[in-house]
Every structure is written in C-alpha cells, then in structure tokens.
Amino acid sequence: MNEGADWAVMVEPWGRAVLVDHRGVCVSLDGPIGKLVSLMVEANGGRWGGFPDVVGASGDRILLREAKVGGTRDRLRQNQHDFLRAMRRSFGERVDPAVVEWDIDP
C-alpha cells in the first residue's frame, strides 16, 4: 500500500484459497478483487501453485510481490517462475513483479 496500491491482498492457497486484505480481513472471491484473482488462476491453467504472497493493483498495473527470507534456502521455485510466465502471456506489461527479501536477524 506504501507504493500507492489501490488494493492489495495476501494470498493463502493451501487447501481452500483465502484472500486477506491489509487490515487482516478476508476478501470475497466473488467481488472485483476475486474476479481478477480468478482470471489469474485461469491463466495459470486452473492452478493456484506459484501464486505470489501478495497480489495488488495500482491503476492498470497488476502488482505481484513474493516475500523471501534473506540468507536462507528460501528462494523462488519453478512453479513461481512458471506462474510469472503465464501472467506475462495473459496480462503483458501490466504485470509488475518483485521479490521482497527480509532479514530475520535483529
């Protein structure tokens, strides 16, 4: 939201997909945010695998943010690369991906 996102949700795809907004409130898959996320699942071959931790929008841009812990074995997996390729094919230059690395040591 600090980058000027119009909206952003955390995506939890384990089991049943859940979207959580910046206030910690679940977001319906039936609304406009859910509609875009559903189009993204469709573009990814009907799979949730590879979805980033956070999906958002700023105007026409689709923001994709993946959080990784620096200095560990936490890294992008093949299905995440495949997901991004699918998003680029479907949404082109609208896709704005980034990896956010954070350090767990004080």
pLDDT, tens digit, 9 for 90 and up, residues 42-77: 999 998 889 999 999 999 999 999 999 888 888 899
What is the tens place of the pLDDT at every residue in 28-45?
888 888 889 899 999 999
Residue at 42 is within a domain: yes
Total number of domains in the chain: 1
Distance CA 44, CA 46 (A): 6
Residue at 2 is within a domain: no
Q: Determine if residue 71 is left, alpha or beta; phi over 0 gives left, psi from -120 to 50 gives alpha, anything else beta.
A: left
Residue at 106 is within a domain: no
Strand spans (E) along the chain: 7-12, 18-21, 26-27, 54-58, 61-69, 95-102
Residue at 81 is within a domain: yes
Taking a C-beta distance cutoff of 8 angstroms, is the pair 6, 58 a contact? yes
- Work out whether strand 61-69 and strand 7-12 pair parallel, antiparallel, or are unpaired: unpaired
Residue at 47 is within a domain: yes
Residue at 53 is within a domain: yes
Kindly give the residue spans of alpha helices, DSSP state H, lying in the chain.
32-43, 78-91
Residue at 14 is within a domain: yes
Residue at 87 is within a domain: yes
Which residue range forms the structural domain that includes residue 96?
7-101
Six-digit token string for 7: 């909206």
